[in-house]
Amino acid sequence: MGEPDKIVKPGPDQAERDLREALREAIVRRVAWQKPAIVLSFLGLTALAYWAIQEKREDGLRTQVLMAQQGAVRRYGSAYERLREKVRRLVSAEAGAYRGDFRDPVFRVVNLPDGGGVYLRLPLDRGRSGRSIEKAARVQTRDAVAGCLGVSPRRFGTILDDGTILDAGYRAKIQKATSQDRLRALDQDMVVRIRRDLPQLAEHLRPDWLFAVLDEPGGAKPPRRAILWDLRRDRVLVRARLEVADDVIPVRWVGKGAIRSNAPPDRTVRNTASDCSIAASIRRLTNEAGVQVDTAVPAPAEPVPAAPATVPAAP
pLDDT digits (tens, 9 = 90+) for 138-165: 999 889 999 999 899 999 999 999 999 9
- Alpha carbon distance 204, 236 (integer Å): 20
Q: Would the pLDDT of 258 be above 70? A: no
Q: Is 42 part of any domain?
A: no
**Structural domain contains residue 296:** no
Nearest-angstrom CA–CA distance, 60 and 111: 53
Beta-bridge partner residues of 210 = 118, 229
Q: Is residue 293 part of a domain?
A: no
Q: What pLDDT, on a 0 to 100 scale, did the predictor assign at position 198?
A: 95
Q: Whose CA is closest to 120, among 103, 98, 99, 143? A: 143
Residue 180 domain-assigned? yes
Q: Tell me, yes or no, whether 35 lies in a domain.
A: no
Q: How far is CA 162 from the centre of its chain?
A: 9
How many structural domains are present in the chain?
A: 1
Distance CA 43, CA 50 (A): 10
Residues 205, 79: contact at Cβ < 8 Å?
A: yes
Helices (H), 163-285: 168-176, 180-196, 198-202, 268-285
Confidence of residue 169 (pLDDT cuts 50, 70, 90): very high
On whether residue 170 sits in a domain, the answer given is yes
Domain housing 219: 58-250+268-285
Is residue 246 a contact partner of residue 265, using CB atoms and an 8 Å limit?
no
Is 80 within a domain? yes
Count of residues in the chain: 315
- Is the predicted pLDDT of residue 119 greater than 90, yes or no? yes
Signed CA dihedral, 121, 127, 130, 133: sign only:
negative
The reply to whether 29 falls in a domain is: no
Residue 50 banded pLDDT, cuts 50, 70, 90: very low
Q: Are 116 and 98 within 8 A, CB to CB?
A: no
Question: In percent, how much of the chain has pLDDT > 90?
Answer: 47
Render pLDDT for 9-32 as a digit per residue (tens, 0 to 9).
Answer: 555 666 667 667 766 666 656 655
What pLDDT digit, counting tens, does each position of 288-302 carry? 865 444 433 344 455
> What φ, ψ does residue 311 adopt, rounded to 5°?
-100, 120
Give the pTM.
0.69
